[in-house]
Structure 1
Amino acid sequence: MKLHLFSRLLRISASVTLLGALLLSAQGAGSAQEAEPQAGEPFTISMLETVRARGYVICAATSPLPGFAQVSPEGLWSGFDIDMCRAVAAAVFGDPSRVEFRPLSGQSRFAHLAMGEVDLVVRNAPWTMSRDTLYGATYVATSFFDGQAFMVPDRLGVVSAYELEDVTICVAANSEAEQRLDDFFFSNQLSYDVLLYEDRDDLAVSYRAGECDAITGSASWLQAIRRTMPEPGANAILPERLSKEAYGPVVRSDDVQWAAIVRRTLYALINAEEYGVTSVNIESMMSARTPAIRRLLGVEDDVGSDLGLRATWMRDVIRSVGNYGEIYSRHFGAAAGGQLLRGQNALWLNGGLMYAPPVY
């Protein structure tokens, strides 16, 4: 009951804050009219108009999480999630640089979203039923599938979790990860020992010191640990997953148009990879005869007007950040010191879960 009340208060506060901003904007522009809702009707403000009037998208991200979001000493943001935010900026403005990043963590990320202090939240929390219903927030789509995995040093000589026999594994004590670990080894009749730590950071220290043969946790977290090791390439994240976690962009629930823009931006990235359109070959693909590619690039049919965007908005997105595969490779590929296998994040054509509705 308290959670529902908290959610309602957040939504009410967000409406009051945004209403005030709109009225001040109208006064500054010399408008003598005041926008008021009709009796019994909710007051709604177009997020797209708000963002355009401001001139940039405000995006909340996690920092640091190597590969997903990190900030350089010069204050420059980079990462998989950061490119998702830049893609939205490219969709709205045709310019991926028109975005401001704010690091948020904990449950307050949803409060900041509800208050209108940020326009978009990326990958701060797994998609769950409560997070999708209690905070006035909506997960628009899945941009990254994650799950509990194992990381092992190459010296162990294993390429599958099913080869882990008589090993010592570092895991967080009294956690769901510990329970899943026990279930996995019991189900597969494998023997193992554990080293339990209360603090997750201690797990990484123990693994780096060689005190355990393997470490288990979410694949994205293991990837972050791997990138900080002296020899990242000497460690591998095994392909099996012991759990399912879905991450993706989150927006407020009160603006269907804005949710559609963010969702379709992600879908444009996925479809571009499926159609073979990249940031490198995009100009030559403009002459393609395939209708789906021509619609994607805005050569024929206007697929932007219904969203309040330009006909070429998807072309601008792909030119700015590349397709989904390019983004993944940029931040998790060998060149980035990552080598996090696509797995579930591969296209559906390649046995993965990444699928986007067609463009028409």
Structure 2
Amino acid sequence: MWRFLRIPASAALLAAMLLGGQQTAFAQQAEAETEASAPFTISTLETVRTRGYVICAATNPLPGFAQVSPEGLWSGFDVDLCRAIAAAVFGDPSRVEFRPLSGQSRFAHLLMGEVDLVVRNSPWTMARDTQYGATYVTTSFFDGQAFMVPDRLGVVSAYELEDVTICVTSNSDASRRLDEFFFFNQLAYEELLYEDREDLAVAYRAGECDAVTGAASWLQAIRRTMPDPGSNSILPERLSKEPYGPVVRSNDPQWEAIVRRTLYALINAEEYGVTSINIESMMSARTPAIRRLLGAEEDVGSDIGLRPTWMRDVIGSVGNYGEIYARHFGAVAGAQLLRGQNALWLNGGLMYAPPVY
């Protein structure tokens, strides 16, 4: 059982002032601010179990990552990560409620305890990891600025983009990076500037530009909504680093560990070849790492408040990382998004998880 003892950073200073009879208005203000900064007295895991389900904030809509059907059913890459957390806690991936939140207000909803985690927000940066009382757990999707082109252009690399018109948002980091890329590579191009990303999508569909640039995840979302998604390609080069991942409150290390290890379990399962299809046959495997992953050898759950078989339940419910990726970005979706940086480290990507022991 985890317990949390919050000791204010100013405790020693306040104690000295009180002992010396020197408590000032400054000390009183500091103490009040400290008491108001962390309102939660029990762990998120206890709260979730008492409630009976996980509350997960997701983007809606972002096709491929999170979308809701007319019947109210959620699906997507990020949605499956939320279901994996529910499977880890309850052994049941359906015990999750989704909240469509957008913008920086997501941090406020998280800190107020209205949601238990956020699966997609702004990209992970040092400032966002230190200024909002929230913690990026680990990277679930490596994103970055890319180019999308129609296949009729006959281009397979960004370095082949010569004498083309490119749709881009005006006065943005994307526009600046675009200028730098073409200047550095001595390529000629013409910008077609729009104020909003939605305008870019309309212009690209109408054939106003030869290519459109933006975050690869957003380009994938545009492609998924086109009449013929498979006739457009997202080029492999990336002009920026934009890692995304689950975000939790900073004052609960147990919940942070549960979310992090759940994602690690998905990655390790793919590395070890354990899938939702072969998981039962893998129970008889002799490899110690696989046996620990499936809870057949050693207890790797009690230290974070979970049962020994929690990772088996996660994989059996949503599959491994590769299965989730293929489900939402594979050829079956009509617009395959190459793994690239999101491939396993064994295959030249950046997806890597600590071993299970």
Q: Name the counterpart of 2:124.
A: 127
Does 2:200 correspond to 1:176? no
Shift of the alpha carbon at 1:11? 8.5
Q: Name the counterpart of 1:144.
A: 141
Does 2:202 correspond to 1:235? no
8 Å CA contact retained: 1:14, 1:116: no
Q: Deviations over 1:218-240 (max 9, x none)?
A: 00000000011110000000000
Q: Name the counterpart of 2:195.
A: 198
Q: Name the counterpart of 2:113.
A: 116
Please show how residues 54-65 of structure 1 align to structure 2 within 5 Å: 54-65=51-62
Does 2:248 correspond to 1:251? yes
How many pairs were matched up? Answer: 327
Q: Structure 2 length normalisation: TM-score?
A: 0.90
- The answer for unaligned runs of 5 or more in structure 1 is 19-43
Q: Deviations over 1:300-329 (max 9, x none)?
A: 000001011010000000000000000000
- The answer for unaligned runs of 5 or more in structure 2 is 1-28
Q: Deviations over 1:130-157 (max 9, x none)?
A: 2111111000100000000000000000
Does 2:329 correspond to 1:332? yes
- Judged with a 3 Å threshold, the aligned counterparts in structure 2 of structure 1 residues 11 and 330 are, in CA distance, closer, same or farther, namely farther
* Cα distance in structure 2, aligned partners of 1:71 and 1:337: 18
* Cα distance in structure 2, aligned partners of 1:150 and 1:176: 14
Q: Name the counterpart of 1:344.
A: 341
8 Å CA contact retained: 1:14, 1:115: no
Please show how residues 209-228 of structure 1 align to structure 2 within 5 Å: 209-228=206-225
Q: Name the counterpart of 1:295.
A: 292
Instruction: Report SS of the residue matched to 2:193.
Output: strand
* Cα distance in structure 2, aligned partners of 1:153 and 1:162: 16
Instruction: Report SS of the residue matched to 1:130.
Output: coil
Q: Deviations over 1:83-113 (max 9, x none)?
A: 0000000000000000000011111100010
Q: Deviations over 1:223-278 (max 9, x none)?
A: 00001111000000000000000100000001100000000000000000000000
Instruction: Report SS of the residue matched to 1:195.
Output: strand
Shift of the alpha carbon at 1:46? 1.3
Shift of the alpha carbon at 1:338? 2.9
Please show how residues 4-23 of structure 1 align to structure 2 within 5 Å: 12=36, 15=39, 18=40
* Cα distance in structure 1, aligned partners of 2:197 and 2:313: 40
- Judged with a 3 Å threshold, the aligned counterparts in structure 2 of structure 1 residues 73 and 272 are, in CA distance, closer, same or farther, namely same
* Cα distance in structure 2, aligned partners of 1:169 and 1:267: 38
Q: Name the counterpart of 1:22.
A: none
8 Å CA contact retained: 1:83, 1:327: yes
* Cα distance in structure 1, aligned partners of 2:57 and 2:313: 22
- Judged with a 3 Å threshold, the aligned counterparts in structure 2 of structure 1 residues 107 and 343 are, in CA distance, closer, same or farther, namely same
> Percent of aligned positions with the same letter in both sequences?
85
- Judged with a 3 Å threshold, the aligned counterparts in structure 2 of structure 1 residues 359 and 151 are, in CA distance, closer, same or farther, namely same
Q: Structure 1 length normalisation: TM-score?
A: 0.89
- The amino acid of 1:12's aligned partner reads A
* Cα distance in structure 2, aligned partners of 1:14 and 1:83: 30
Match of 2:301 among 293, 304, 307: 304
- The amino acid of 1:147's aligned partner reads G
- Judged with a 3 Å threshold, the aligned counterparts in structure 2 of structure 1 residues 164 and 253 are, in CA distance, closer, same or farther, namely same
Q: Name the counterpart of 1:39.
A: none
Instruction: Report SS of the residue matched to 1:279.
Output: coil
Q: Deviations over 1:164-193 (max 9, x none)?
A: 111111111111101100110111111111
- The amino acid of 1:178's aligned partner reads S
* Cα distance in structure 1, aligned partners of 2:55 and 2:198: 30
Q: Name the counterpart of 1:47.
A: 44
Instruction: Report SS of the residue matched to 2:129.
Output: helix
8 Å CA contact retained: 1:13, 1:115: no
8 Å CA contact retained: 2:123, 2:242: yes
Instruction: Report SS of the residue matched to 1:241.
Output: coil
* Cα distance in structure 1, aligned partners of 2:175 and 2:291: 50
8 Å CA contact retained: 1:67, 1:338: no
Please show how residues 15-94 of structure 1 align to structure 2 within 5 Å: 15=39, 18=40, 44-94=41-91
Q: How much is the aligned-residue C-alpha RMSD, in angstroms?
A: 1.4
Instruction: Report SS of the residue matched to 1:190.
Output: coil
8 Å CA contact retained: 2:60, 2:66: yes
